[in-house]
Amino acid sequence: MDMACDLTFDRERLKDEIRTTYGRVAEQPDGDFHFHRGPDYAASVLGYDRAELGELPDFVTAPFAGVGNPYLAGTLPAGARVIDLGSGSGMDCLLAGRQVGAQGEVIGFDMTDAMLEKARAGSSAAGMDHVRFEKADISRLPVDDESVDVAISNGVINLSPEKPQVFSELYRVLRRGGRVQFADIVIEAELSAAARNDIELWVG
């Protein structure tokens, strides 16, 4: 099995396609998409606490399109500094904000304007001044070295065509003893070169 994937497509075009798709999810979460979305899916399939989700703004939970539950790996420490790679509409960040408390800090990074708009409105509605959102590519995090206690991510790293750089960034920003809690998609079968370079398959 090849350990590296030679990508021949236009990486910026892929990112544009991702922005377009998830921009539509933000604006029309009940639209026609092949992947699951919303709080009912998060609670019944992924193990999120339904009551906790019910306390968050609907416009934050409706566009949720994660693939797992990063919090099953462990509760976040009070006062921790947390980042979310690909924070979407902000659901996971608001949950993180509750766990770390007002003495902690949560920063969500996303590259889709419509998702960032929902997320920022959500943190404001929830009264969480310690949860904020910034536009960024997760392969180039605007975060200082060794300044993060926990990094979370949910169904986003698989979308990046620059995965080695993403993990290099995680190693750079985590403090000694810091950890990563993420859920994502993996496959066991080796893909053909054509499949690896099919943008439609990447975007999902």
- 117-143 confidence digits (pLDDT tens): 999 999 999 999 999 999 999 999 999
Residue pair 78/100 in contact by the 8 Å Cβ criterion: yes
pLDDT value of position 84? 98
- Digit-coded pLDDT (tens) for 70-83: 999 999 999 999 99
User: What confidence tier does 43 reach under pLDDT thresholds 50, 70, 90?
Assistant: very high
**For residues 35 and 53, what is the distance between their CA atoms, to the nearest angstrom?**
19
- Predicted pLDDT at 4: 54
Question: What's the pLDDT at 152?
Answer: 98
Q: Where are the domains of the chain?
A: 11-203
Q: What is the mean pLDDT of residues 29-55?
A: 95
Region 173-186 average pLDDT: 94
Q: Where are the alpha helices (DSSP H) in 45-198?
A: 50-54, 58-61, 91-100, 113-125, 163-173, 193-196
| Between 12 and 144, the higher pLDDT residue | 144
- What's the pLDDT at 3? 46
Helices then strands, counting H and E runs in the chain, come out as 9, 5
Give the mean pLDDT of 92-113.
97
* 29: enclosing H helix or E strand: none
**What's residue 201's pLDDT?**
61
- Domain 11-203 bears CATH identifier 3.40.50.150: yes
- Compute, in degrees rounded to 10, the torsion defined by CA atoms 74, 57, 143, 149: -20
Q: What is the pLDDT of residue 14?
A: 79
Assess whether pLDDT exceeds 70 at residue 187.
Answer: yes
Q: What is the pLDDT of residue 9?
A: 67
Taking only the tens place, the pLDDT of each residue in 104-117 is: 999 999 999 999 99
Amino acid 199: pLDDT: 66
Q: Give the pTM.
A: 0.91
Which residue in 191, 66, 56 sits closest to 126, CA to CA? 56
Contacts of 131 (CB under 8 A, 6+ apart): 90, 93, 94, 96, 97, 105, 106, 107, 108, 123
CA–CA distance, 49 with 22 (Å, rounded to integer): 24
Q: Which of 9-13, 64-68, 134-138 has the lowest mean pLDDT?
A: 9-13
Confidence of residue 2 (pLDDT cuts 50, 70, 90): very low
